[in-house]
Structure 1
């Protein structure tokens, strides 16, 4: 895409329009399904695709033109096609290729830009292009660009957003960023991706001169991953056959990327590694900027703004967008790791040197584990770590775009930190609280800028759990929410956005289940058996282990808060059990002991013998009629599903988006795998599979023993009393 000469917004100052999970405009499940079933797409004229095995091949073909250009029509059809491919579970990877000999994509449609009457219209074009290419870049299904002919401007931006690039080795295949020659600059993310791909000097050379790069040189630069002879070494062939052969090769690489027999990681020579290391140093970059700006001023006399704007936006991407993380504990250090690992400059702040050292060591260990697995080199590890600064003060916070607070789950501490932060951060900076259950509007109550306050609920361990729950209040601005989503996607997370409320969605569903775990333990079932029973059902993490992972202190605070909000329905085991564990220092994994003993390098954990005394104080009489392995499983599951149904009935959630969080398995809930691939796994899919009436029967059985905590919600009763009625038709 092309953009006017104003720089794109900084990393976290994006303005994407997103749909909120709690929006009143959400359709009811049945309405959503009808639209899914009966929506008819108009015939596509610019983009087509077919599926070969498990690889989708997307073909660009602008009608009545020798070249492909990024027009509104092509962009719309491309978006439709990609959404269909991402929704198709049979497709594991994709190839982008042109049906036109001699042209991959020659750039954006200049007429489309000329037709814009205001700068806002051009900005919208640029943002739409950025949004689509971000989805390409973040795609879990590898995407290969198969390039033959001209790959210029917006075409190059499409290619470098892909995970792998293959180009034909012939004179007609050229790559370039010629926007500067039109008084424009790359507007769909090229100013940010190109320097990271080929290095700052080479990127400036391409964007400031607009010169074309031949395929063989592009390979040496790292702009292209593989070169392909038209039909094999020394064979002459018509251009159509060249495209056919290129497609065959690209399909092979796409399939290899998906099954991990091919690596998208580019090997770099010693000179490139040294250059990258030097460019990571701020004072070296400043010298490069100074030299480049001087040359541009000398050649243009300052009369051509486009080259200077290109330099400006590259600098913005490399030098600005600082993220700050408050608290270097287990969660804070994990957030810092997934941020710095994805190229975000990160400040990690703690109040004590001991805590800071422990947090920095955790980040180092996480990255060093990748070195041991050979997914990173030690040089790359050190280069990544150079983007993280550990400190005990607020130095540098005046340049932060976002601060993620990960301090103790206490409203008074969070209020204190928020006030301190707002005294030093710039006006545009976002304050995000990592909390499991504290209402965000309560946290924001002391803020001078509540529109900039949001919740970002990560799951432990942060570097392994995919889910990120973003929580908005009535005062949270849309820009703030969009920026939080952008950061989460940058960190590689599966993101859901929910409205503020006690326990949000994830903790609210887990709360009753974990309360039931406490009761099961008090009834004399030891933690190892609880874990074995729950994982045998399909839970990815044992139920007792999950409490250790969450943190017993956090679980205690959550139980108290949810108990106040929802009363007896959230009861179960005695909260005194968890409080005594906290008093004894049995906080879970982060403290080295909880229900289990945690030791570095020891996989087969032993039970914490200190828990015998704790459990003895809270022992409950066993209930043989509801304590079989199956009953224990169903006591946990029915409370989880019942609360999820309660959420669906009380809050205008969108059923398919609410289940998105279960895809990541971060929630600690069983996947409930669907027999129908388009339907996401989750509690409602399980209710359909097991049967709402059967679930209600189980709930009634346990209600007779334990009371109102197992009373089925009205929504489940409605489905149970309507034979054949399902959450997913």
Structure 2
């Protein structure tokens, strides 16, 4: 239900602060987390002993012309991570090769296509019991990287695939880096997205290798950098072009080719160190300018302003990163390494980092298929409705191997939908994410038409028409005369109960809800809604399609508003109570953004569309009655709609929308101010920022817990993922259930009872929370 503008703000927040597909490589830092002093001494003693190469399980060593080729090949895994087993083998092996006179140089690379070192087992970090352990973890990681960097024998990193976090820190410590120019090859330090900083020397080496602005951009955003860009930045020394299309058996040829180039470079480096590129006049001038303490301080100040603007200061990691780099620039790398280890230890103990790591685990879980394969694989999808949502669903389907028919009643609607899709992919071509040939191939999977021809071949229909129950029932009735028996009918609805849509269906077991969020190509969440009649196989089909589309999937129960829309409306009803009490929309926006939401809760209704909210409020008030709100809110919505106050799309809602006027500069709509006076309520107490945050927040938290109690959601994990990735609930708080655990269930219940005494029964805590408070339980162990 969220609008494109609102959800694009969530997307921006997610790009900055939520999780990438690859974990932060902190296994390297955590190797000693549970190792006693005696075990450490034994390891140090064993480093000087010959390594039994026959016993290696995660590494393989081969020799070629005096060069040792160390192949990362983690057992029982599709990708390489810096697992405990990997590092327990790597350190003694490294020392063995250093002491072997027959070895003149070393190449490190992966035996797995598409994964150099993708990341690490985050559970290792979570096993650290206190700050001191985290500090030792970071120090150990720094020591290992320094050993690699100070090796008298040249070490070449041959990189094909993801090279992130600690994996990137390994590559940075090597003397030369060669990368395969493949779309899977990417570099980055995404630790900030877990509330951490690179703890094995990453902050230090990146500041050394890059200009200060570039280093800050890489470390603060955690973004992934592709091979060619990494080469232009100086993070990679050489690029190797693939010799095949990147598909088996060409994969093996590419690995062998990369290896041969790396071995040759290692042989060259045994004779001569890599030549340093002499900077030109412009580079020298830039270097001198950047070395000025005045310039450095100015850059750091501007970076801090940007961080505060984007995060409201609610994320400790970016600010700690800036502090570490400032100390490095002012006092040198010795102080910098100390500051990095201290920062890593401090951040690892924060509730924000624990919340973000919890989200990482939850997101990973919701990217897996927990329901199994459907009886018949979905290959052909028909989409009814070529509007913003229908076209968006087609967009995320045609590049995943699905054949898609996009159907609408008019050629104008089809043209608009096709244009939306093609422009999206043209953007990928411009950004070099796709070649022209790939663009043509993707678009060939799309067929636009105004008839139902070939719908009898579809395995799934996704209906994306206007949010009207009768209309959706009619579409289902017409299609059931045409589609095959196995075909799933999925409705993209944000609030209409699925059992009502399927009320007249002759095969309700094949009807399901698939609630996508706009813009579909950017928003990760897919809320799949299962009615009582929906079969297990239908759920399996919907989940498999969603996962293949690249979505984070939660399966929820049927009912008005399902999970995500229900939470918005319960929290939103309190927003309108505050407005009726005379609180300014700007004060509500400021308070909720300071809590961590990407867009203020008053502005949110303008973004959603007040006409859409009015429709949902009417239906949900009929279902939930006074527990949602009194009758005044639906009436207020209807009057706003009658006066054309539809929100941003009509140019006016709570605010006036004018071209070039953004954010806090917008004027509160005088029409809204006049209308709201007719619905005024006497405030029960002075309204403060904290009061606004708790009143809206408690309604959100309580309803989330009630959805779990009523089995609308099946786990706290699904609830947290749905709230963060669908509604923009502050990631640093981990989601509503993680937040309740962190703050304390008993404290939440006490707050609710306090507000109940002032504002009435709408603040009555749900029984689940009351029982958990009595038993001192948490949602997460």
Give the shorter-chain TM-score range: 0.5 to 0.7
2 CA distance for matches of 1:607 and 1:725?
A: 46
2:642 aligned residue: 583
DSSP 3-state at the match of 1:420:
helix
Shift of 1:636: 0.5
- Go from structure 1 to structure 2 and tell me whether the alpha carbon gap of 1:617 and 1:349 turns closer, same or farther (over 3 Å shift): farther
RMSD: 4.8
Aligned to 1:483: 541
Q: 1:547 to 1:728 in 2, by over 3 A?
A: same
User: Does the alignment pair 1:651 with 2:711?
Assistant: yes
2:695 is the alignment partner of 1:635: yes
Structure 1 runs of 4+ aligned residues shifted over 6 Å read 59-63, 79-85, 138-144, 211-214, 599-602
Task: Decide whether the 8 Å contact of 1:455 with 1:472 is kept in 2.
Answer: yes
Q: 8 Å contact 1:454–1:473 — kept in the other structure?
A: yes
Go from structure 1 to structure 2 and tell me whether the alpha carbon gap of 1:371 and 1:414 turns closer, same or farther (over 3 Å shift): same
Structure 2: tracts of 5 or more residues without a match = 1-24, 32-53, 63-72, 85-107, 114-160, 168-179, 188-240, 271-317, 319-375
For residue 477 of structure 1, report the CA deviation from its aligned partner.
2.5
The CA distance in 2 between the partners of 1:76 and 1:483, in whole Å, is 31
Partner residue, 1:671: 731
Query: Offset at 1:602?
Result: 6.7
**CA positional deviation for 1:362:** 3.3
SS in structure 1 at match of 2:762: helix
Separation in 2, partners of 1:516, 1:727: 25
Find the residue that maps to 1:390 and give its secondary structure: strand
Q: Residue 495 of structure 1: CA displacement?
A: 0.6
Counterpart of 1:455 in 2: which secondary structure? Answer: strand
Pair 198,710 (structure 1): closer, same or farther in 2 beyond 3 Å: same
Inter-CA distance 444–641: structure 2 relative to 1 (3 Å threshold): same
Q: 1:606 to 1:367 in 2, by over 3 A?
A: farther
Matched, 1:612 2:672: yes
Residues 1:688 and 2:741 aligned together = yes
CA deviation after TM superposition for structure 1 residue 66, in Å: 13
Separation in structure 1 between the aligned mates of residue 666 and residue 646 of structure 2, nearest angstrom: 16
| 1:228-243 mapped onto 2 (5 Å cutoff) | 228-230=261-263, 232-234=265-267
1:698 to 709, 733, 751: 751
1:215 aligns to what?
Answer: 253
Q: Does 1:463 align with 2:521?
A: yes
Report the Cα distance in structure 2 between the residues aligned to 1:139 and 1:446, rounded to whole angstroms: 50
Aligned to 1:417: 475
Q: Work out whether 1:717 is the aligned partner of 2:770.
A: yes
1:163 to 154, 168, 184: 184
Moved more, 598-607 or 396-405: 598-607
Alignment of 1:412-561 (within 5 A): 412-561=470-619
Query: Judging changes above 3 Å, is the alpha-carbon distance between structure 1 residues 413 and 728 closer, same or farther for their aligned structure 2 residues?
Result: same
Query: Does the aligned pair in 1 maintain the 2:462–2:490 contact within 8 Å?
Result: yes
Counterpart contact for 1:511–1:559, Cα < 8 Å = yes
1:385-444 Cα distance to aligned partner (Å, 9 max, x none): 443333322233233222211112221111001112222223322111111221112212
Provide Cα deviations, 1:561-609, integer angstroms capped at 9, x if missing partner. 2222222111156112222333344434555554345678875583573
Q: How far off is 1:475 after superposition? A: 2.7
Q: Residues of 2 paired with 1:411 and 1:467: CA distance?
A: 23
Q: Distance in 2 between matches of 1:505 and 1:139?
A: 35
Look up the match of 1:42.
none
Q: Judge conservation of contact 1:334–1:463 (CA < 8 Å) in 2.
A: yes
1-structure distance, mates of 2:703, 2:253: 57
Deviation at 1:637, TM superposition (A): 0.3
For 2:674 and 2:448, the matched residues in 1 are separated by 38
Distance 1:236 1:632, change over 3 A: closer
1:728 aligns with 2:780: yes
2:28 to 49, 52, 55: 52
Q: Distance in 2 between matches of 1:713 and 1:644?
A: 10
- Measure, in 2, the Cα distance between the counterparts of 1:714 and 1:217: 59
Take 2:455 and 2:256, find their aligned partners in 1: how far apart are those partners? 39
Deviation at 1:374, TM superposition (A): 5.6
| Cα contact 2:26–2:166 (8 A) shared by 1 | no
TM-score using structure 2 length: 0.53
Distance 1:615 1:374, change over 3 A: farther
2:557 and 2:615 map into 1 onto residues whose CA distance is: 21
Distance 1:441 1:352 in 2: 29
Q: Post-superposition shift, 1:484?
A: 1.2
